[in-house]
Amino acid sequence: MTIKTKLHRRTFLKTGAATASVILAAPAAIGQTKIKVAGIHSSPVENAWNSRLHAAMLKAADDGTIEYVFSEGVSGTDYGRAVREYAEQDVQLIVGEAYAVEREVREIAADYADTAFLMGSSGEPSGDNFGTFGTWNHEGAYLSGMLAASMSETGKFGAVGAIPIPEVNMLINGFRAGVDVVRPDAEHLIGFIGTFFDPPKAREAGLAQIDAGADILFGERIGTADAAAERGIKAIGSLIDYTERYPDTIFANAMWYFDPLLAAAVSDITSGSPTGRNYTPYCLMKEGGNDILYTASMVPEAAIGPMEEARAAIKAGTLEVPIDFSEPT
């Protein structure tokens, strides 16, 4: 049985991190040790990226592997306090995002050597307890690009990203590489909206690319598919499955799964191994960290076979999708 208690952010600010939102896992099997895990989310857990972390921790809680508590909508000014409060309550693993608070969270981690940290970060791991991870779903994006290549009439492909940081660049470059391996003469239109969440701005960027001739859009940012739906063209989603939201527009999604990263960190804690390492490799498709979801009826049948062959090769480790952090132009 899973019990959920969820309070608003203003309650978090009054009473502290532990009461903001609580998930109590089902009892563990005899002999199984459950890890106490806290998720600290800067955005609501419905946000695409945060939803991936949240879903993985909910599943682990339902499986009886962990006990899970979480806080959402935690601002940068409150983030360090939330981290410290959870650490004081003997949480064994804190999962979150250090991008905007790198120095502060790393300093707190050094104060709590018995607490493990698994943080989305652009930096390197530190000490024995500060582990980091990136968000790699470039392989799913590559496969999506392979499908997209045969679906365009204009030969022009648009991609809307947040900010040209390495992980965003890698994802868009992965999509481009997938298109180009099937259609070397393709033209790519790239746009960045300058923020991580602004659906209206992503929509406008998508509309501009459509006006410039693009008839397939890759939506690294939420809002891109709105432009595609408005103009009656097809689009690709990222991180989560957007098919239900845009059933006539989204034909493929470059999915990302946090489950293997969480499982690896929990295993390290259980075995007494240091968690101060880079968990990003668990994002790879061969580890179950990313994949493609697509609607076969929306894709030319002739495109599916070659894509599935590439997919199998990636999972087998015989095909390596390039990791290109350079800014796409």
Q: Class of the 3-133 domain?
A: alpha beta
Listed in sequence order, the residues at least 6 apart from 292 whose beta carbon sits closer than 8 Å to its beta carbon are: 140, 143, 144, 252, 253, 254, 255, 307, 311
Q: What does the alpha-carbon distance between residue 102 and residue 201 come to, in Å, rounded to a whole number?
A: 27
Domain boundaries, the chain: 3-133, 138-256+288-316
pLDDT digits (tens, 9 = 90+) for 149-181: 999 999 999 999 999 988 899 999 999 999 999
pLDDT digits (tens, 9 = 90+) for 191-241: 999 987 889 999 999 999 999 999 999 999 889 999 999 999 999 999 999
The tokens for 114 are 């018995």
Coil/strand/helix, residue 85: helix
Question: What are the phi and psi torsion angles at 115 (to 5°)?
Answer: -105, 130
For the chain, how many helices (H) and strands (E)? Answer: 10, 13
CB 47: neighbour CB atoms within 10 A?
Answer: 20
H or E, element range at 12: helix 9-15
Q: What residues in the chain have per-residue pLDDT under 70? A: 1-32
Looking at residue 195, its pLDDT comes to 85
Q: What does the alpha-carbon distance between residue 90 and residue 98 come to, in Å, rounded to a whole number?
A: 20
Q: Class of the 138-256+288-316 domain?
A: alpha beta
Q: Is residue 150 a contact partner of residue 300, using CB atoms and an 8 Å limit?
A: yes
Cα–Cα distances in Å, from 170 out to 6, 212, 223?
36, 23, 20
Same fold, 3-133 and 138-256+288-316: yes
Q: What does the alpha-carbon distance between residue 172 and residue 70 come to, in Å, rounded to a whole number?
A: 31
Looking at residue 32, its pLDDT comes to 58
CA atoms within 13 A on the CB side of 229: 18
Looking at residue 150, its pLDDT comes to 94
